Amino acid sequence: MEEWSKEQIDVTTIVSALLLSLIGVVSVYSATYDAGASVIFYRQLLWVALGIVGMLIVMLTPFRSLQLLSYVFYGLSIIALIGVLVAGKMVAGSKSWFGVRGLGLQPSEFAKAATVLALAAFLSGRHINVNRLKDISIAVALVLVPVILILLEPDLGTTVIFFGILLLVMYWAGASNFLLLTVLAPTAAAIASLFGTTPFALVVLFSLVTLLILRENRFVSSIVFSLTVLVGVSVQFIFGKLAPHQQKRILTFMNPDADPLGAGYNVLQSKIAIGSGGLFGKGYLRGTQTQLNFIPAQWTDFIYCVPSEEFGFVGAFIILFLLTVLLYRGVQIAGMVKSRYASLVAIGVVASFALHTIINIGMSMGMVPVIGVPLPFISYGGSNLITNMLMIGLLLNMYANRKEY
């Protein structure tokens, strides 16, 4: 039995996920302890239990069944995304939830896992070439369909995760550096242009030099360069078309002090909480920023400031360490499995966890715009937590079947 367990079960992945979930439950309890929101804590316990059940189901599902049903799961997720636009409930200006007896289910979260499966199924096809325009277009389309539906809700943060997953999965599948530059250069130009002419000019110059070094087709390179410039120049026009709350989030990222009592309030209070924790923190349930509720609904997007304030640098480091172990183990699994499909699924899961971690902690520390991305296993939220557990189940399934082709 012990030998079977070592062969079939990846203990490192399971322990990391469960410890992070435990930290999440403890953090949510603290965040709601003096906020009159104890029901949030009990719901989080329910989500953890359901997530563990889901993880075990996915882990024990026959490998071939997962592969064969990848497009079915993807299709169901698209139907759910359409359904929420028709019959969903409005929460914080976004129609992205199904209401079920006081509980909310967010189809866009489950769509992440389904899209990872569909991408892996397509890109692992025998005659697929990730550098061929036709195949690239189909892979992009698989991501664009849910992204467009999610943008209609609207939910900008989740769409960023989808594009990040696409980029990293395509890279793992063998996409050329030129293809990656085609995606990254316009994106970098758009971001840089928000900070002024000099940063934008530097990005354009860097893109030009990189294109010259890669020595790709001159016509195609000129198109990529032109697109980079065009995107950067037009970003201000696009910015003007964004919803007011989205504009505030971007401006807050650039200068949180510009509106300390408005759009920049959460970021500033979060930075105070994290910085005030010191080395060992103020003690559990003794964080002043946390217990005095300076950050509204801090158990969601800004949960990272709770353990950082109460357990200091040590607590914040433990969370980062466990997440890093989980990501590293995911990459190891992606590299050890013999099936191309399994490898791409594993790297898609890693991409999702990594992007959520970087963006959420970046939000809490004022390093990236506040776009509503939860911290894996820590933030309150049933749909996200269950989806993360399902993805852990996928990693465990890929590990158990690592010798399958």
C-beta separation of 259 from 245 below 8 A:
no
pLDDT score for 60: 94
Give domain status of residue 104, yes or no.
Answer: yes
More confidently predicted of 20 and 100: 20
Residue 159 lies in a domain: yes
With a cut of 90, say whether residue 178 has pLDDT above it. Answer: no
Long-range contacts, stretch 195-198, CB < 8 angstroms, 24+ apart: 195/254
252-257 mean pLDDT: 54
Domain of 241 in residue numbering reads as 2-400
Confidence at residue 21, expressed as pLDDT on a 0 to 100 scale: 96
* 93 — pLDDT class (breaks 50, 70, 90): low
Per-position DSSP letters for 177-229, written without gaps between them:
HHHHHHHHHHHHHHHHHTT-HHHHHHHHHHHHHHHHHHT--HHHHHHHHHHHH
Confidence of residue 46 (pLDDT cuts 50, 70, 90): very high
pLDDT greater at residue 20 or residue 298:
20
Confidence of residue 67 (pLDDT cuts 50, 70, 90): very high
In this predicted structure, the answer to whether residue 249 has a pLDDT above a threshold of 70 is no
Q: How confident is the model over 217-238, as a mean pLDDT?
A: 80
Does the residue 343 lie in any domain? yes
97: helix, strand or coil: strand
Rounded CA-CA distance 240/372 in Å is 21
Is residue 329 within 8 A of residue 13, CB to CB? The reply is yes
pLDDT at 227: 85
Residue 258 pLDDT greater than 60, yes or no: no
**Whether pLDDT at 65 is above 80:** yes
Stretch 176-203: mean pLDDT, rounded? 79
Check pLDDT > 80 for residue 92. Answer: no
- Dist. CA 26–CA 43, nearest whole Å: 13
pLDDT above 90 covers a percentage of the chain that reads 41
Q: Does 248 score more than 70 pLDDT?
A: no
Higher pLDDT, 164 or 193: 164
Residue 35's pLDDT band, with cuts at 50, 70 and 90, is low
pLDDT at residue 257 is higher than 60: no
- Give whichever of 74-78, 177-181, 240-244, 249-253 has the largest mean pLDDT: 74-78
Strand ranges across the sheet with 103-105? 89-91, 94-100, 103-105
Element (H, E) at 169: helix 156-173
**Strand pairing report for 94-100 and 103-105:** antiparallel
Q: Reply yes or no on whether the pLDDT at 254 is more than 80.
A: no
For 32-41, 300-309, 345-354, 378-387, which range has the lowest pLDDT when averaged over its residues?
Answer: 32-41
pLDDT at 357: 95
Task: Say if 405 falls within a structural domain.
Answer: no
Question: Confidence class of residue 82 from pLDDT cuts 50, 70 and 90?
Answer: very high
Q: Identify the top-confidence range among 57-61, 90-94, 98-102.
A: 57-61
Strand-pair category, 89-91 with 94-100 = antiparallel
The answer as to whether 301 is a domain residue is: yes
Predicted local distance difference test score (pLDDT) of residue 32: 83
pLDDT beyond 70 at 241? no
When the pLDDT of each residue in the chain is averaged and rounded to a whole number, the result is 85
Which residues pair with residue 99 across a beta bridge?
Answer: 104
Look up the pTM and report it. 0.86
pLDDT band at 213 (very low <50, low <70, confident <90, very high): confident
Q: Where are the alpha helices (DSSP H) in 242-304?
A: 244-254, 265-276, 288-291
